[in-house]
Amino acid sequence: MKLSSLKSIGEKRQKVFEKAGIFQAEDLIRRFPRGYLDLRETTPIKAAYHNDMVLVACEVVRLAPINHASRLKVVRVFCSQNGFPFTAIWFNQPYVAKQLKPGEYLFYGRVQNKYGQITLVNPTFEPMDKNYRLKGIVPVYSLCGGITQKVMRTAIKEALSKVQIDSVIPKRIAEKYQLPPLEKAYFDLHQPTDLARTKEAGERIALEEFFITTSAFRIVKGGKETARVREYGVTAKDVKSFAARFPFEFTEGQKRAVNEIFVNLKEPTQMNRLLQGDVGSGKTAVALCGIYMAVKSGYTSAYLSPTEVLAEQNYKILQKYFPEYRVSYLSGAMTAKEKREEKAKIKAGEVDIVCGTHAVIQKDVEIPNLAFIVCDEQHRFGVAQRNALSDKGETVDVLVMSATPIPRTLSLIFYGDLDITTIADKPVSRQEISTSIIPESRYESMLEYVQAEVKKGKQAYFVCSKIEDDEEGSLISVKELYEELKGRLPTVRFALLHGKMKDTEKTEVMAAFKRGEYDCLVSTTVIEVGVDVPNATIMIIYNAERFGLSQLHQLRGRVGRGAEKSYCFLLMGAETDAAKERLTTVKNETDGFKIAQKDLEMRGSGDFFGTRQSGKAFGELRNLQYSAEVIFLAKRLSDETFEGRFDTEALRDAAVRKYNELKDVVMN
């Protein structure tokens, strides 16, 4: 059903939704809430903690005059709740002053409690006698463009009333496992009357998604494997000789991974293998051994990296370990003349190893005799990108790598078209990173520490999850943080980095930071996977409770890459028991696979799919609550469906659509 069929969405709003990847009413109802406002009870504001989000029934006593001469327009009102005084404040929202007058109101906002002075920041409000929105359980959505929460809620409510929601799980399987109707789950999630039901609804919808995904790989892959057309003449002795070039002894996990690749390349069918391991586990060395097996056998290899900086880094590594072979570098940042010259050399067969970014995938790049490819940081590339490179050769052997430890159950679903090799050994030769949870009371001391370390020549990362401010103002944005830190620490050189910047800008900023031209990098999670900056010894993560544990572990892995002791500071925006439990896991645990398993147990697969993939394939799942058992159950239902031949045309259509979505998944 087209968005234009919804009365609440006009032409202008439709364009905004489409820009966010929402083209149909069906896409809209899959925009699951990222949280809920429980507005069934008001809170005594004097009992609220700093940073709490609260609903307050109060009296507006008077408004302070707005200082129009200032760049920052501040609306301030003085309030009273049962005789207890507090203030409410709005930044750069001067229109609020026209909407407020003395009287009784409901305010919903974030509490600031500093030195006994309580302030509500940017609260939503309604007159007590006209309370329409601030009541019941209200869903909160991730927004796009200029769309507000009110517009999003209205559009989703209308879409729910018009979209037909049918499950593709065969009826006899659904009855056997007593699965609740899928339609009811959607209504319970978007229009809940009980918060407990949102968990059950999330599990039912997630079960449907994982069932379709496992079925997709079963249908499309169909047990078929491509026959090999070339033989590798490399011997085990050759590979051992190449491994001796590295200045360290391979771990047992690395040796096992190299052996699996070697055996694969000797088998009669094409290799499609995922190599996953924790930060510092030595995946690159294993990949280079695979490349050596190809070039030693007389074939060409390609090494694909997601960013300019990472590609250039890998190019230098290839030059170092393959001095007797010809290595070519190709990236989007090169001039047209440089690209033409490199492409000509590659086409003429004058290159043994092609290294680069997405530029390598372009149609006009011809790679003769291509036999082996490596895709670094797999979660940045979709199946389509992998296939585009594979298609440059005949039955090319593929090794994709991921630095994100994923529990095996999840790997079997997400990477259903790949064999899996896991390096489970603890990272070697890496500095231990001291991790601390920083409360509000220690924030100033932490900034003083950073300033002192910068004076010693060290560098730091400041990371937050949001690029720009939104109407709620509940989380600090990277742009707001950048300006605030420059004001607080004027002697420190700050750089700003986020996903909306152009690729060339991001590359320039990251390269300048690595060269030491900036002391601190204020960034979103675009630095989660990337360049080594050995001089960066401090990682600070704002609102750390909003991130997945595995993502926090990956961000922490940006430091501790040099000889100096490194530190990771986790700042909590909401000091709840659940948040403390999750962050304590990261503080006390250094094994990425154990952290990943804990993350899966505590909040489902949201971190793995939600924060690492865009597009419709898995982006919605990050906001669903469900247990790890849902994934096991989805696999069981899929097995029973196909073993009993209960699959239907609707299931097959949905599975093919899901596979096509997976093919197009790319994170920018």
Query: What sign for the dihedral angle of Cα 377, 382, 383, 388?
Result: negative
> How many other CB atoms are found less than 10 A from the CB of residue 21?
13
Q: Is residue 165 part of a domain?
A: no
Which tens digits make up the pLDDT trace of 255-272? 999 999 999 999 888 888
Look at residue 3 and tell me if it is in a domain: yes
Tell me the average pLDDT across 45-55: 85
CA nearest to 416, candidates 617, 149, 607, 198: 617
Cα angle 87, 93, 96 (rounded to 5 degrees) comes to: 65
| Cβ proximity of 380 and 177 under 8 Å | no
Measuring CA to CA, which residue among 34, 54, 32 is closest to residue 44? 54
Q: In what side-by-side order are the strands of the sheet with 370-375?
A: 327-330, 353-356, 300-304, 370-375, 397-402, 272-277, 419-423
Domain count, the chain: 4
Cβ 169 vs Cβ 211: under 8 Å:
yes
Regarding whether 467 and 332 lie in a shared domain, the answer is no
The amino acid sitting at 349 is G
How many CA atoms does the CB half-sphere of 431 hold within 13 Å? Answer: 21
Element (H, E) at 182: helix 182-190
- Indicate if 451 and 307 belong to the same structural domain: no
Nearest by Cα to 603 from 575, 617, 583, 623? 623
SS3 state at 258: helix
In this predicted model, what pLDDT tens digit does every residue of 596-611 receive, in sequence order?
777 776 665 555 544 3
By residue range, what is the domain housing residue 342? 236-269+280-402
pLDDT score for 47: 85
User: How far from the centroid of its chain's Cα atoms is residue 532's Cα?
Assistant: 20
| Domain end call among 589, 612, 634 | 589
Beta strands in 92-234 (DSSP E): 103-114, 117-127, 136-140
For residues 549 and 497, membership in a common domain is answered with: yes
248 and 359, same domain (yes or no): yes
The tokens for 31 are: 């925009």
Question: Over 60: is that where the pLDDT of 186 sits?
Answer: yes
Domain final residue pick, 347, 382, 402: 402
Q: What pLDDT, on a 0 to 100 scale, did the predictor assign at position 292?
A: 97
Model confidence pLDDT, tens digit, residues 108-147: 888 888 767 899 988 989 998 887 777 888 888 887 777 8
- Please report whether residue 616 resides in a domain: no
Q: Are residues 379 and 440 in the same domain?
A: no
CA dihedral 353, 357, 360, 364 (to 10 degrees): -150
Question: Are the C-beta atoms of 273 and 419 separated by less than 8 Å?
Answer: yes
Q: Are residues 9 and 74 in the same domain?
A: no
To which residue do tokens 């979103």 refer?
Answer: 524
Q: At what angle do helices 236-243 and 283-296 cross, to 10 degrees?
A: 130
Dihedral in degrees, nearest 10, Cα atoms 616, 617, 622, 623? 50
Q: Is residue 609 part of a domain?
A: no
The pLDDT tens digits of the residues spanning 349-367 come to 999 999 998 888 888 899 9
Same domain flag for 494 and 584: yes
Largest CA distance in the chain: 86
Give the integer Cα–Cα distance in Å for 357 and 435: 33
Tens of pLDDT, residues 3-40:
888 888 888 888 888 888 888 899 899 889 988 888 88
Q: Does the pLDDT value for residue 430 go beyond 70?
A: no
Residue for token pair 């200029």: 146
Tens digits of per-residue pLDDT, 501-530? 887 788 889 889 989 999 999 998 877 655
Q: Are the C-beta atoms of residues 545 and 561 closer than 8 Å to each other?
A: no
Tell me how many degrees the CA angle 591-592-598 measures, rounded to the nearest 5.
Answer: 95
**Helix pair angle (283-296, 308-321), 10° resolution:** 60
The confidence band for 226, taking pLDDT boundaries of 50, 70 and 90, is confident
Based on the domain organization, do 46 and 30 belong to the same domain? no
Confidence of residue 474 (pLDDT cuts 50, 70, 90): low
| Predicted pLDDT at 437 | 92
The pair phi, psi for residue 458, each rounded to 5°, is: -85, 165
Distance (Å, whole) CA 587 – CA 602: 16
Confirm whether 538 is domain-assigned: yes
C-alpha distances in Å from residue 624, one per residue of 31, 406, 513, 620, 655: 10, 18, 37, 8, 21
* Residue 664 pLDDT: 47
Highest mean pLDDT among 14-18, 85-89, 128-132, 557-561 belongs to 85-89
Mean confidence (pLDDT) of the chain: 84
CATH number, domain containing residue 124 = 2.40.50.140
Query: Would you say residue 382 has pLDDT above 60?
Result: no
Same domain, 355 and 484: no
Is the pTM higher than 0.85?
Answer: no
* Interacting residues of 89 by C-beta distance below 8 A, sequence separation 6+: 74, 75, 76, 77, 119, 120, 121, 122
Last residue of a domain, one of 566, 589, 612: 589
Q: Is the confidence at residue 84, as pLDDT, over 90?
A: yes
**pLDDT higher than threshold 70 for residue 197:** yes
What is residue 465's predicted lDDT score, i.e. its pLDDT? Answer: 79
Q: Within a domain: residue 479?
A: yes
Cβ–Cβ under 8 Å, residues 406 and 414? yes
Asked if 16 and 69 sit in the same domain, the reply is: no
Q: Closest Cα to residue 373, out of 348, 350, 400?
A: 400
In a domain, 209, yes or no: no
**Statement to judge: residues 391 and 447 lie in one domain:** no
Residue that has been written with the tokens 């949001």 in this structure: 466
| DSSP 8-state assignment for residue 466 | B
Summarised one tens digit per residue, pLDDT across range 283-293 is 899 999 999 99
Domain for residue 253, yes or no?
yes
Same-domain pairing of 451 and 562: yes
The CATH number of whichever domain residue 494 belongs to comes to: 3.40.50.300
